[in-house]
Chain A
């Protein structure tokens, strides 16, 4: 597994840490789940994949298809409704540790290396960090 979260040129320590599944076993011409784990520092949150306010940047996982393997669905976990001083209504956010299963559809047998990015933007009640894009690679062993 690869622990990622430090983007190039970042000055402050990241507050969200992505644990990508380094390798996934999958049946040929079938589906498999690649489970990503995101741990968010206490006191911070990252926006949901579908924020309630239009100006907020959604959390997203993108995977480039390769060798017949493609991500067909990101199974987002439930969000938490949290009230902050800066917004009149509660926002839908991720906090703590969340697991994000991504359903992969496979082609023929072999090993494929997929490249993707995890995008997020973190805030606490008073400050926001710049949006981050964290690259990852995923090995899919197809039998």
Chain B
């Protein structure tokens, strides 16, 4: 019954997100497939695991045999709820690690099952390298394990949303399952459910509230997520690629940012190796944040006579952004028309606020995470995820890659 309540809760959250324009509607059959496996039954034994961690070591259930209590948290990188709970999970780990409580986090998501559009609140995806970067950025000390290759462990535990916590007693029987606490906003928490359960177990008492409904992102199961990723890629690849001439007048109007949105502009050229190398990451960045209102334009500094070659490159890269090429051969005059302070080399990337203020700029290949964090720190905040903009503002100067 609680599983059914979870599905209803996920449905309600999904409806709110759809209404706010932050979730793409999924047909009912897909939603049911994406609901995932049944959750571990109360009192059931902890399923075995042997998974690689961000610390470079493998972690298995028996490593924690001596702990009085074991907490297994399912979380991921891209989910805004997971992001907002990272600090609380870390505090839970730190507060209880010397009291005989072990905590591990498991990421069930695979880079092959998460669409770019789902990463609209994240700077990165779900690969092990991404997980390491996230752990470094957020200073996570708890073991963070990767189950994305097969999801075989996660399928046995059956998390319905992330973050979700499973708490086992010394005999490794499940005694609590569900949310960490009752509010995404830490200032409004009234019931610290996971801590209450752990405290009860440490005191040798029964857990008063053994099951709650976790809310957050459902795991992207490979069974349905992989097809969704492929469908997204196919749609991006099929979208028309456009290329227009950038006159001095057009460039002059571009600099103050006429879009009313956060605007990413990338100046590049086909003869520029660093430009060509970073181009796919920049296009992915657009796909990640375009539904949250990021605008992006690419401007090629190629000779206008090379327009054909520029378009060929853009088509090969499936560049869905508005794309321009300089209308005149005089590169320096065109650069000056945009901004005399932009520098004369490419690539040059700038992020402008809706008022035309420079939020980020880089002459040279970008550090993609630094760019994305700067964008995330300036995209409008979300009522569904209070504090998410502040989360990214606090991390936008992080050099952890």
Contact = CB atoms under 8 A, between A and B. Distances in A.
Contacts of B345: 12, 127-129
A interface: dominant SS:
loop
Interface in B344-368: 344-347, 363-365
B273 A84 contact: yes
A130 B364 CA distance: 13
B332 A127 contact: no
Interface of B: 269-278, 301, 309, 313, 330-333, 335-336, 343-347, 363-365
B274 A128 contact: yes
A87 interface: yes
Contacts of A53: 273
Contacts of B271: 55-57, 121, 128, 131
Contacts of A12: 343-345
Nearest to A125: B274
A131 B274 CA distance: 15
Nearest to A7: B332
A43 interface: no
Q: Which 8 A-B pairs have the closest CB atoms?
A: A126-B364, A86-B277, A127-B345, A128-B272, A130-B331, A86-B273, A12-B344, A86-B274
A11 B332 contact: yes
A78 B347 CA distance: 29
A123 interface: yes
Given A128-B346, A130-B344, A86 B365 contact: yes
A56 B275 CA distance: 12
Among A9, A12, A56, A128, max chain B CB count under 10 A is at A128
Interface in A5-21: 9-12
Nearest to A88: B277
Given A57-B271, A130-B301, A85 B344 contact: no
B326 to A, nearest CB: 10
